Structure 1
Amino acid sequence: MWRIYSPNHLGVRISTSTKLLRQQVASVAKERGYTLRMESVRYEGQHKINKEFAALRDDLQQHFEVGRAMDALFLKREAFDHEAEFRVLLHAPEANRKTVREGIKIPINPHRLIDSVLLDPRAPPELVAAFTYYLQQKIGFKKRVARSVLYKSTNPYIVEGE
């Protein structure tokens, strides 16, 4: 994935868990009256997606339901299943066109939400050092900041004969 999403070797992966994400978002969503839906994306073949979207269209034409409309946003072509996406959707019933353009802002505490920060395994050492210094020393991030070891060679296994 580093090669796909970080062709310039400067990518950053921020890691969290669904539990931490839900903790950070759910209370604000409830307090503001937003509908919250969090789940993994399903990856299907194009034929199945077409059938599901046709059924979705028919259902929504008969009776519009926000939850049912959201179903479409959790379905993606199987060519992208390597992404293993998890999505968070918020529906704000009182939103107007201006709000929609600006987006819905949810206050979160990144120190509680983020488990670790990994940089591209091909990132220059100076960039890794700068990120580590800034995150840990300047903003007080206490968790792991490092370069990914995805491409690091493992110790070789040596088989000796008699």
Structure 2
Amino acid sequence: MNIEYINIDQNELDKPLYRYLDFYRVVQMLQNNEIVFVRPEKWEDPFETYVINSQILYDDGGKLIHSLNGVIHGICWTKNYVSDALWRIYSPHKMAVRIKTTPRLLIESIESSLNKYDRSTFFIGKVEYKSQKQIIKNAKDIASKIGGSGSDKITAKSLLLKRKSFSHEQEVRTIIFDRHLKAKNGILKLKIDAHKLIQSVLVDSRAPDEMLNVYSMYLKKELNFKGKVDKSVLYKNLDKLIINKK
């Protein structure tokens, strides 16, 4: 298996990455020791798959449809450690959590799982945010290169382009080309040491305090999670401002 970096430097490998998700998904990760990748067509923004869904039409009437769609799977992370927007998007019921890891831990986890699959390719990279006009302008040039030399990296780069309106996400993506066809129904599950991958769990600040106790007890006692479990203070009520005057 090959690992390649896109828009990310070696000195960033130990900086934190976060993912906002439902608590039961964290439980699944820790119980099953697995991480789940999905096909990009499950992502909501149509511009994220604009290039890989393209077709090439030839003068003789021939048509080329990119054949990589079925083998590409990804998972999204963020560098943004505190974000009102991300909590509201991924925790509409106010009960979700945020897990913390690093690019290095991600790479080590995925590498150990994919080592025996020598035809698979793994990319980790930061998303670039461009205007819609820029993405459309560059799309034809990028799409025309898919299928040639370095095709996997070009395709992965196309999945690291998003419109500027999403820049608050500060995304880092891990992308796998699953040429061993291990995925089922568009979902690729890899066995990892989830207890090593997840460094901490942070509960939505809007959740009742009792939920922090419930979550923490379950993670610690039932799943033997050793990392820190805490509650965000983003929406914590402030003490009343009192000004003393003589």
Q: TM-score, normalised by structure 1?
A: 0.85
Q: Is the 8 A contact 1:24 1:109 kept in 2?
A: yes
Q: Is the 8 A contact 1:29 1:90 kept in 2?
A: no
Deviation at 1:7, TM superposition (A): 2.1
1:21-47 deviation per Cα after TM superposition (whole angstroms, max 9, x unaligned): 111012322321210001111111111
Q: Give the gaps of 5 or more residues in structure 2.
A: 1-85
Could you say which structure has the higher helix fraction? 1
Aligned residue runs from structure 1 range 138-157, under 5 A: 138-152=222-236
Over the matched positions of the two proteins, sequence identity in percent amounts to: 33
Aligned residue runs from structure 1 range 1-162, under 5 A: 1-33=86-118, 34-60=120-146, 63=148, 65-95=151-181, 99-101=183-185, 103-152=187-236
Rounded Cα–Cα distance in structure 1 between residues aligned with 2:157 and 2:233: 37
Q: Please give the secondary structure, in 1, of the residue aligned with 2:104.
A: helix
Q: Please give the secondary structure, in 1, of the residue aligned with 2:201.
A: strand
Could you say which structure has the higher strand fraction? 2
Rounded Cα–Cα distance in structure 2 between residues aligned with 1:137 and 1:59: 52
CA RMSD of aligned residues (A): 2.3
Rounded Cα–Cα distance in structure 2 between residues aligned with 1:9 and 1:51: 39
Q: Give the gaps of 5 or more residues in structure 1.
A: none
Q: Please give the secondary structure, in 1, of the residue aligned with 2:92.
A: coil
1:76-106 deviation per Cα after TM superposition (whole angstroms, max 9, x unaligned): 111111111111111122328xx45253221
What amino acid sits opposite 2:114 in the alignment? A
Aligned residues: 159
